[in-house]
Structure 1
């Protein structure tokens, strides 16, 4: 029998450390013929969603959002190759975070804009402005707003284009439907004409965008016609 005192243990400290948190490597199977991606399937799916949706929220898409966080470094590399930037923001409250992609802004002779989602119209953007302001003033409380109250936000608008009451009402209703489709406005269960404002609006509406939209709204109030906004300016990209 060998006495433990006879064993030389001086070399043990030189042995490599085992990463206890590392995952067991596995062989990735191609999803389709010709698939040569170096990313795991979940990272690929998260990337696809980021490129095709305005935002991914932890509240509505827990799995997708967790994949974005898990593979955030790799996704940032892939997106930056396309002149895109990944934004991940904690919106607070009980909603967790939100992730979205925006176009990088820099001077390039050959760069191509890839984010070409359907742009927000003037009334969509102005409504988003009001909702963002209301959420920021709420102090972290849920904000409930009715269809009638939304129309009231535009009561002072006297622009030359939409003086006809029917057309004007239709434009505001269209803005409500648009932001409801983006889940910025969420219908309540008790009343289909009442909405809860999603805190996501705080993440996708920056201070600079709010200031610019405020100028456009004041132009409408003064009787002018605000120009239709394009996707790059609107910045409501989640």
Structure 2
């Protein structure tokens, strides 16, 4: 005998547990090595390792890593904050699609230890990064092309009490170019080894506050008030 649907008690259905249709089937995690007790998935661990050892991860150059950062963003932020580090993710609006990097949290602590001890940018490195960031922002999303000669021209008004001879002064500028090329902020063009395109990643890692601070220091250098040998800057490029 078939029961009429009107005889079925449907009031109990509301108390049944809800099923998350988007949830993934849980997989048992296997230790990567003897003594591995991590609670994070392997991809989250690998993303965390790269964030701690690299200056930035871009969607353009590291699509998989960047997608893992986004997927495990909340978990990674917790792990990093335990180390007084902050995860910065700038999504979209750039040629590479997005950028992720880590910054040292700035606050007064009697017992805290600074973990991001990367080599800071020198004065000329910072000045060049400042100019490139300003040029990139002014371009409004368009590609910025700059030659070695034009980079040298950016320093034409600099006065200081150390680099009085032209050879030493020029060498410092070339060293700054090489440094930012090593950071992939400057990228050599295929047609001319002395021409570079400016990676739009600089818009993400050079915040407005960093630019303002470097601008003040650059103006001091223009007046001859700062020595390149005695003043090194730590920008967002170095965490």
Structure 2 length as normaliser, TM-score? 0.94
In structure 2, the partner of 1:99 is 100
- CA-CA distance at 1:144 after TM superposition: 0.5
In structure 2, C-alpha distance between the alignment counterparts of 1:228 and 1:72, rounded to whole Å:
35
- CA-CA distance at 1:237 after TM superposition: 3.5
Asked whether the 8 Å contact 2:120–2:238 carries over to 1, the reply is no
In structure 1, the partner of 2:184 is 183
**Residues 1:169 and 2:137 aligned together:** no
- CA-CA distance at 1:4 after TM superposition: 4.1
Within 5 Å, give how 1:118-129 maps onto structure 2: 118-129=119-130
Cα deviation code 1:95-140 (max 9, x no counterpart): 2111111111111110001000111111100000000010111121
In structure 1, the partner of 2:232 is 229
In structure 1, C-alpha distance between the alignment counterparts of 2:136 and 2:184, rounded to whole Å:
15
In structure 2, C-alpha distance between the alignment counterparts of 1:101 and 1:81, rounded to whole Å:
13
In structure 1, C-alpha distance between the alignment counterparts of 2:91 and 2:154, rounded to whole Å:
28
In structure 2, the partner of 1:147 is 148
| Corresponding residue SS for 1:95 | coil
In structure 2, C-alpha distance between the alignment counterparts of 1:59 and 1:97, rounded to whole Å:
8
Within 5 Å, give how 1:64-143 maps onto structure 2: 64-90=65-91, 92-143=93-144
In structure 1, C-alpha distance between the alignment counterparts of 2:215 and 2:37, rounded to whole Å:
47
In structure 1, C-alpha distance between the alignment counterparts of 2:232 and 2:224, rounded to whole Å:
18
Length, aligned pairs only? 236
In structure 1, the partner of 2:3 is 3
The runs of 5 or more residues in structure 1 that have no matched partner are none
Asked whether the 8 Å contact 1:156–1:221 carries over to 2, the reply is yes
Which range moves more in the overlay, 11-20 or 124-133?
Answer: 11-20
- CA-CA distance at 1:91 after TM superposition: 5.5
Asked whether the 8 Å contact 1:91–1:199 carries over to 2, the reply is no
- CA-CA distance at 1:222 after TM superposition: 1.7
Cα deviation code 1:182-219 (max 9, x no counterpart): 11111111111111111111111122211221122222
| Corresponding residue SS for 1:11 | helix
Structure 1 length as normaliser, TM-score? 0.94
In structure 2, C-alpha distance between the alignment counterparts of 1:130 and 1:4, rounded to whole Å:
78
Q: Over aligned residues, Cα RMSD in angstroms? A: 1.5
Asked whether the 8 Å contact 1:161–1:225 carries over to 2, the reply is no
Which range moves more in the overlay, 205-214 or 119-128?
Answer: 205-214
In structure 2, C-alpha distance between the alignment counterparts of 1:212 and 1:18, rounded to whole Å:
52
In structure 2, C-alpha distance between the alignment counterparts of 1:19 and 1:142, rounded to whole Å:
44
Asked whether the 8 Å contact 1:100–1:237 carries over to 2, the reply is no
| Corresponding residue SS for 2:126 | helix
- CA-CA distance at 1:90 after TM superposition: 2.8
